[in-house]
Structure 1
């Protein structure tokens, strides 16, 4: 019988060779008990791989929720779902407010600025925002669009406006816990893959209800569509939504999933994100964290104050504690 130690050692060596892992091994790593000694060994191996692949660089992803409005898609985990009645008001940050927030984060050390919108936010407004940020703030940073479904044409339109990365995923239990079809999500992923844009695709939103096989399949989908950034995002229980009564998974389990994505991706996806941010996950191989402001689907607020009190200063402190240097965009 193959031991946990044997599987971890195989995954570690495979990652250093730059290879992706097969589904069976990904599931086996995810099946290791999060509270076990073996999970700690998994994390140690993933951190060593992170040091090699990223040259020990940590990166901050700053996300701005630009519009706050009820959404007719009504995903079961999302506070914006029109059916749940949690969010009743509509609000959009002005271009000036968004540019000021982008300046704050980029001059503060963020590597990417994400413009996150609801499903039906105007593409024309989004491209105008990206252009304004590029024109106003020089630097070697990425603009990420996290928006509705895309075609080949709209993906290229976003790229021409200054967007360099698309955040998109086939979410866990898509079409069951979400109001969008698997087909439409995959069509967007294919459009991004066919464009020069980079793809960011986290395994999300992870809850205690999801099996290791589901997590592995989501990750492998990210790899099939050439994601350059992956990792894991927790499902945050929002009271009043259909999944709001199910507790969040433990920090150790999330860190384990991040470690598995690190080992499973090899050098194919050099950046591994953990959200919400976790020092343990950084110590277990993740190298990207997210600072969020504005409209956030995991909460009912709409504020310029950083979500969960996780700000740039905390991010840099945690990177230092996890022995990363920070790769800044400006």
Structure 2
């Protein structure tokens, strides 16, 4: 076992955050090494202490999809490679999705996703429908293209409490978007009192440990409320569909180092940290419905099967003993609960 790696984990246990160089050092070990395994186990233990071994579910609904001018090399909707048609979800369909998703009260946030190019009035109308249909305790979020400050204010007034926005790895090179425009949207959202979460993504085999760590730590300094990490999924037909992907084990190694880098910053009483996005794991799982940029099928819930039922099973299989409901209460996550919610 590498003495320096052990020393760095001991540093985290003493409530001291890791530096960029220290994170890069920990990521320098192979994903199947004892050092990587030790890092993953330590991060998992800290996160379970923080959340009392409680899982949480969010859900994303693709409400506006089709050929997108952002032309991201990893996205199935990239205008240069897609065969998708323009699609705007009807109000009745959205109501049906939300009713089914929130039926058992254990989805805490619903995110409405659009492509980069969309009609703002369509999004605003969908937000109003979602806020009206979803229980009051469920947070309504958006994952959408760049926005003006006034648009962000309008979204906030319509009921949006959270937004996902990211300056992706390779932004401006593998996408047609300007990183500064992405950052301006983040600041517009924050100025409208919308909490912004982000993700260091999409991680591919070509991305260096330093690039990944620098992106994550930079997001924390920018004022995002949570950050996480996600890998690039090779979607057939996209420009980057043949560029490979990192393994799930390597992704967990990366996620663990990033969690440990900020493990004590949010609350000295528990290792909550800045890491808290759904996409990266640690007890938070996202179900995905309708159009999804990473799924070649039109309806993600019928393809990868990442429904709310799948999310409950995933948390159960990962050893979480409770699940958090939208009202803040918790219930035991056992086979009886899975049967009761139709998740088996």
TM-score higher than 0.5: yes
State the match for 2:54 in structure 1. Answer: 57
Contact 2:43 2:257 in 1 (8 A): yes
Distance 1:231 1:306 in 2: 26
Distance 2:222 2:228 in 1: 14
Equivalent residue for 1:274, pick from 253, 269, 279: 279
Q: How far 1:65 sits from its partner (Å)?
A: 0.7
Q: How far 1:29 sits from its partner (Å)?
A: 2.5
Alignment of 1:97-108 (within 5 A): 97-108=93-104
Equivalent residue for 1:232, pick from 217, 229, 232: 229
Distance 1:20 1:63 in 2: 32
State the match for 1:201 in structure 2. Answer: 198
State the match for 1:183 in structure 2. Answer: 180
Contact 1:61 1:110 in 2 (8 A): yes
State the match for 1:279 in structure 2. Answer: none
State the match for 1:4 in structure 2. Answer: 5
Contact 1:112 1:143 in 2 (8 A): yes
Contact 1:193 1:225 in 2 (8 A): no
Equivalent residue for 1:289, pick from 285, 290, 307: 285
| Distance change >3 Å, CA 226–CA 307, structure 1 → 2 | farther
| Distance change >3 Å, CA 2–CA 154, structure 1 → 2 | farther
**Over residues 173-203 of structure 1, what are the superposed CA-to-partner deviations in whole Å (9 max), with x where a residue is unaligned?**
1111111011111111222233321111011
State the match for 1:300 in structure 2. Answer: 296
Contact 1:12 1:45 in 2 (8 A): no
Distance 1:304 1:102 in 2: 15
Equivalent residue for 1:309, pick from 294, 305, 312: 305
| Distance change >3 Å, CA 87–CA 224, structure 1 → 2 | farther
Structure 2 unmatched ranges of 5 or more: 267-272, 328-344
Note the aligned Cα RMSD (angstroms).
2.0
Whose RCO is larger (CA < 8 A, sep 6+)?
1
State the match for 2:143 in structure 1. Answer: 146
Contact 2:166 2:198 in 1 (8 A): yes
Q: How far 1:81 sits from its partner (Å)?
A: 0.9
Q: How far 1:320 sits from its partner (Å)?
A: 2.5
Distance 2:116 2:306 in 1: 26
Distance 1:222 1:306 in 2: 34
1:318 aligns with 2:314: yes
Distance 2:19 2:209 in 1: 14
Contact 1:293 1:302 in 2 (8 A): no
State the match for 1:37 in structure 2. Answer: 34
Q: How far 1:274 sits from its partner (Å)?
A: 3.5
State the match for 1:278 in structure 2. Answer: none
Report the 3-state secondary structure (helix = DSSP H, G, I; strand = E; otherwise coil) of the residue aligned with 1:320: helix
Q: How far 1:147 sits from its partner (Å)?
A: 0.7
Q: How far 1:68 sits from its partner (Å)?
A: 2.4
Equivalent residue for 2:44, pick from 33, 44, 47: 47
State the match for 1:133 in structure 2. Answer: 130
State the match for 1:95 in structure 2. Answer: 91
Distance 2:225 2:53 in 1: 17
Report the 3-state secondary structure (helix = DSSP H, G, I; strand = E; otherwise coil) of the residue aligned with 1:99: helix
Give the paired residue count: 316
Structure 1 unmatched ranges of 5 or more: 276-281
Report the 3-state secondary structure (helix = DSSP H, G, I; strand = E; otherwise coil) of the residue aligned with 2:57: strand
Moved more, 243-252 or 45-54: 45-54
Relative to the length of structure 2, the TM-score reads 0.85
Report the 3-state secondary structure (helix = DSSP H, G, I; strand = E; otherwise coil) of the residue aligned with 1:186: helix
State the match for 2:207 in structure 1. Answer: 210
| Distance change >3 Å, CA 272–CA 5, structure 1 → 2 | farther
Report the 3-state secondary structure (helix = DSSP H, G, I; strand = E; otherwise coil) of the residue aligned with 1:230: coil
Distance 1:52 1:105 in 2: 28
Distance 1:191 1:29 in 2: 35
